C-alpha cells in the first residue's frame, strides 16, 4: 500500500490536509471554522438544530475571517430541518463550499443544496444508510463510529470505525467509486488521521479534538474537565438529551463525559424521562454555574488523547505533520 496524506478529498476541496471540522452544534462557531479553513482544512460551522440567528451570526463570522479560502461550509441535523429549514436556506444563499447533513433523510434537501453549487456530505452510522445518501447525490459519505462524541447511534446499532470504514470503502469501490469517504469518531492526532487513510478513508471529520481548542465555543470548565478525563471517562446514553429537553428520535443518543449527574441517572433512564424536572433544574443550575459535575461536556472516546487547548491552526499543523511522518511524503516531495 502506497499512501500519502494527500487524497481525493484534499484535491476536490483544495485542502492542505484531509481534515474537515465536525459541524458541532453550538461549538463549531465562525471563529473555529475560519481558523480551520485558513489552516488548510474544511471549516464547517455547526448549524446543528437550525437556529437561524445563531447560524447567521456564526456563519457570517466564518465568511468574514475565512471566506477567501473557499473552504467554508455548514452542517445541519436533518430531523430538525424537517421542522424548519430556514437556516439552511439562508446559508445556501451565501454559496457554501459544502453542506454536511446528519441524522435523517437528506433527499428532500439535495436539490436545493446542489442548486447552490455546494457539495453534499452525508453522515452515516450503518452501511444500510448509504444507498439513500447516494440517491440524494452525496459526493462525500462520512462514516461515523459509535466512539464519536455527541450524537450517534446507540450501542445496539452503532459501528466502530476500525471495521466500518474499510467495509464501507470496499462497498463504495464496488458500487460508487467516485464517492469520497471520510472517517469520523476517535480522530484526534496524527496517528489516528493516518489510520483513517490506511483504513480506506479519503480523510477525516475531526470533532472532539477541535472542540478542545482556543477557538472552540465550549465552556472553559468543560474543556478543563476534558483535559482531566481519560478515554474511559465517557458514556453514551439519553441522559443529557432528556435533561436538555432535546427530543432526539431513536436510535440516536449522546456521548459525553460520564460525570456525577450522568451516573446518578444512567440506570434509571425511563424514570428520568417520565419525571425530568427536578434533575433538569439541577442540570441547568450546574450549567449556569459552570459546574461540570452536573453540566455536560460533549466529547468522545478520543478525549484521552486531548492534553492541551491550542489554537486550531497549531493543532491542525501538528496532526498533519505527524500523519505525514507516518505515511511518507507526497509523490515528488523533496
The predicted model scores a pTM of 0.96
End-to-end CA distance of the chain: 20
pLDDT string in tens for the chain (334-residue length): 578 999 999 999 999 999 999 999 999 999 999 999 999 999 999 998 999 999 999 999 999 998 899 999 999 999 999 999 999 999 999 999 999 999 999 999 999 999 999 999 999 999 999 999 999 999 999 999 999 999 999 999 999 999 999 999 999 999 999 999 999 999 999 999 999 999 999 999 999 999 999 999 999 999 999 999 999 999 999 999 999 999 999 999 999 999 999 999 999 999 999 999 999 999 999 999 999 999 999 999 999 999 999 999 999 999 999 999 999 765 544 4
- Phi, psi at residue 235, to the nearest 5°? -150, 155
Question: What CATH number is given for 8-218+306-327 in this structure?
Answer: 3.20.20.70
Residues in contact with 281: Cβ distance below 8 Å, sequence separation at least 6, in sequence order: none
Residue pair 295/260 in contact by the 8 Å Cβ criterion: no
Using left for φ > 0, alpha for ψ between -120 and 50, and beta otherwise, residue 50 falls in left
Residue pair 45/55 in contact by the 8 Å Cβ criterion: yes
Domain ranges of the chain: 8-218+306-327, 220-289
Q: Where are the alpha helices (DSSP H) in the chain?
A: 8-13, 30-38, 52-66, 78-81, 86-92, 107-115, 130-135, 161-175, 190-199, 208-211, 220-227, 239-244, 260-265, 269-274, 277-289, 312-327
Amino acid at each position: 500500500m502506497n499512501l500519502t496524506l494527500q487524497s481525493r478529498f484534499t484535491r476536490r476541496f483544495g485542502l492542505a490536509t484531509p481534515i474537515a471540522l465536525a459541524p458541532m452544534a453550538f461549538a463549531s462557531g465562525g471563529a473555529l471554522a475560519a481558523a480551520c479553513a485558513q489552516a488548510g482544512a474544511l471549516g464547517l460551522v455547526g448549524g446543528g438544530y437550525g437556529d437561524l440567528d445563531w447560524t447567521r451570526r456564526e456563519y457570517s463570522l466564518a465568511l468574514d475571517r475565512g471566506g477567501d479560502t473557499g473552504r467554508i461550509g455548514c452542517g445541519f441535523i436533518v430531523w430538525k430541518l424537517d421542522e424548519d429549514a430556514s437556516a439552511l436556506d439562508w446559508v445556501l444563499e451565501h454559496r457554501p463550499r459544502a453542506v454536511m447533513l446528519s441524522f435523517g433523510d437528506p433527499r428532500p434537501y439535495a436539490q436545493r443544496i446542489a442548486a447552490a453549487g455546494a457539495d453534499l456530505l452525508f453522515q452515516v452510522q450503518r452501511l444500510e444508510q448509504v444507498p439513500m445518501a447516494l440517491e440524494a447525490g452525496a459526493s462525500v459519505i462520512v462514516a461515523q463510529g459509535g466512539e464519536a462524541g455527541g450524537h450517534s447511534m446507540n450501542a445496539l446499532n452503532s459501528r466502530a470505525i476500525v471495521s466500518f470504514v474499510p467495509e464501507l470503502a470496499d462497498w463504495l469501490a464496488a458500487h460508487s467509486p467516485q464517492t469520497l469517504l471520510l472517517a469520523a469518531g476517535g480522530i484526534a492526532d496524527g496517528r489516528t488521521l493516518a489510520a483513517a487513510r490506511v483504513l480506506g478513508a479519503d480523510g477525516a471529520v475531526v470533532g472532539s479534538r477541535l472542540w478542545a481548542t482556543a477557538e472552540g465555543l465550549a465552556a472553559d470548565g468543560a474543556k478543563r474537565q476534558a483535559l482531566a478525563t481519560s478515554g474511559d471517562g465517557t458514556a453514551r446514553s439519553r441522559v443529557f438529551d432528556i435533561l436538555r429537553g432535546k427530543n432526539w428520535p431513536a436510535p440516536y443518543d449522546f456521548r459525553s463525559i460520564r460525570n456525577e449527574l450522568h451516573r446518578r441517572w444512567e440506570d434509571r433512564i425511563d424514570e428520568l424521562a417520565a419525571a425530568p424536572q427536578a434533575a433538569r433544574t439541577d442540570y441547568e443550575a450546574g450549567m449556569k454555574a459552570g459546574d461540570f459535575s452536573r453540566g455536560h461536556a460533549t466529547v468522545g472516546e478520543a478525549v484521552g488523547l486531548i492534553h492541551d487547548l491550542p489554537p486550531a491552526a497549531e493543532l491542525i499543523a501538528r496532526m498533519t505533520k505527524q500523519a505525514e511522518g507516518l505515511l511518507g511524503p507526497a509523490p515528488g516531495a523533496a
